[in-house]
Copies of this chain bind each other. A is one copy, B any other.
């Protein structure tokens, strides 16, 4: 079934309002959440709305948070999200980074006591309209086994980097620091299909192709898949995201990161508050004139896009190309939702007496 963006936006905005979010925060949250659906990252969009509502019901999400800066220097801040929706806390914190960049060239904000923030790319993109490079990352509940480990210690810990260009569309990278994101497993589960080798391991650390292996004490693998193919690099990247997001801010890190499903008990002896995020904004003209930078970015993008493609491929892509193409399709043709998601959304709607 297809739904228009406006229709889903209205529904989502209303759900957040009924949860008790102030109107402007509900709008911010709906926009951030739906940016995933629009860009084709279906696992992180409206399909998760039910999960957010359950976290609120479990009193793990505060619908009226007092989000505030608890420490700062001219180029840095720590923000306490007061257990608010990450979808609301993250844009607040990214805005702080942008304001600092306006003043001293760059801004860097680490966030504690927050929740899942949707897609990292949405927050990084906020920087572009200011001629800034934007960065966003977050830790998440532990689903990933470090190299040589059978224990799950890290989340899929995504990194997003958005870089402005001139005539060309911007460079937008947004990726989990694992070989495959958890959302890819969910798609395979629905189709009853196997994963390629290198995505997951079983509870003893052996290679597996079982898309349901996470439910059997298995784990996702860091980008690189195994030691021989550089999984220690993916493990290092995921660790850096965890440390910047949670150890710098005072959030809960590593295996103690709070779980997204509200039915999973919170970890014991958590060393910090909630999830953590990390944001950066760098004013391009803190390095060289913005026009000059953008001309060179145009040149960079055109040169890479015109690189000789391998047989069977039309062209070499620039990070952000697939999501932008998806956005132009979905804003005109609507957003497809699978039946199970529609059913869940209708159940959520029923709770609040709204229809999808």
Say whether B204 contacts A148, CB under 8 Å.
Answer: no
Chain B hits for A163, CB < 8 A: 240, 243
A232 lies within 8 A of chain B by Cβ: yes
B106, B272, B317: which contacts A296 (Cβ < 8 A)? B272
Given A73-B283, A171-B243, A229–B149 Cβ distance below 8 Å? no
Q: Specify the chain B residue showing the minimal Cβ separation from A308.
A: B151
Residue of B nearest to A228 (CB): B196
A171-B243, A180-B230, A286-B73 are known contacts. Are A149 and B319 too (CB-CB below 8 A)? Answer: no
Q: Check if A225 sits within 8 Å of B229, measured CB to CB.
A: yes
The answer, yes or no, to whether A284 is at the interface (CB within 8 Å) is yes
**Which A332-352 residues sit within 8 Å CB-CB of chain B?**
none
Q: Does A175 contact B (CB under 8 A)?
A: yes
Q: Find out whether the CB atom of A78 lies under 8 angstroms from the CB atom of B287.
A: yes
Most buried by B among A78, A230, A293: A230
Could you mark each residue 274-297 of chain A with 1 if its beta carbon is under 8 Å from any beta carbon of chain B, else 0?
000000001110111000110011
A51 at the interface (CB under 8 A from B): no
Residues on B with C-beta less than 8 A from A243 are 163, 171, 297, 300
**Chain B: minimal CB distance from A121 (Å):** 11
Q: A149-B310, A243-B171, A296-B271 are in contact. Are A254 and B303 (CB under 8 A)?
A: yes
Kindly state whether residue A7 has any CB partner on chain B within 8 Å: no
**Chain A 239-257 near chain B by CB (<8 Å), digits 1 or 0:** 1101100011110011100
Least CB separation from A287: chain B residue: B248
Please determine whether B173 and A240 come into contact, CB atoms closer than 8 angstroms: yes
Q: What B residues does A284 contact at CB under 8 A? A: 248
Residues of B within 8 A of A225 (CB): 225, 229
Question: How many residues belonging to A are interface residues under a CB distance threshold of 8 Å?
Answer: 85
B223 touches A230 (CB 8 A): yes
A150 at the interface (CB under 8 A from B): yes
Asked if A234 contacts B229 (CB within 8 A), the reply is no
Q: Which of B147, B153, B180, B205 contacts A311 (CB 8 A)?
A: B205
- Whether A232 and B319, one on each chain, are in contact in the complex, defined by CB atoms closer than 8 angstroms, is yes
A110 sits at the interface (CB 8 A)? yes
A161 to B237, CA, bound (A): 9
> Separation in Å of the A254 CB from the closest CB of chain B?
6
Q: In the complex, which of the residues B108, B224, B317 contacts A105, with contact meaning CB atoms closer than 8 Å?
A: B108
A-B contact pairs, 21 of them (CB 8 A): A71-B288, A74-B104, A75-B104, A75-B105, A75-B106, A75-B286, A146-B307, A148-B309, A149-B308, A153-B304, A178-B230, A205-B311, A223-B230, A223-B234, A237-B237, A239-B304, A247-B293, A248-B284, A250-B288, A253-B300, A255-B303
Given contacts A177-B233, A196-B229, A253-B296, 18 further A-B contacts (CB under 8 A): A71-B287, A76-B283, A78-B288, A146-B307, A148-B310, A148-B313, A150-B307, A171-B243, A173-B236, A173-B237, A175-B233, A199-B229, A205-B311, A229-B229, A237-B237, A249-B287, A253-B300, A255-B303
Binding site for B on A (CB under 8 A): 71, 73-76, 78, 103-106, 108, 110, 145-151, 153, 161, 163, 171, 173, 175-180, 196, 198-199, 201, 204-205, 223-225, 228-230, 232-237, 239-240, 242-243, 247-250, 253-255, 271-272, 282-284, 286-288, 292-293, 296-297, 299-300, 303-304, 307-311, 313, 315-317, 319
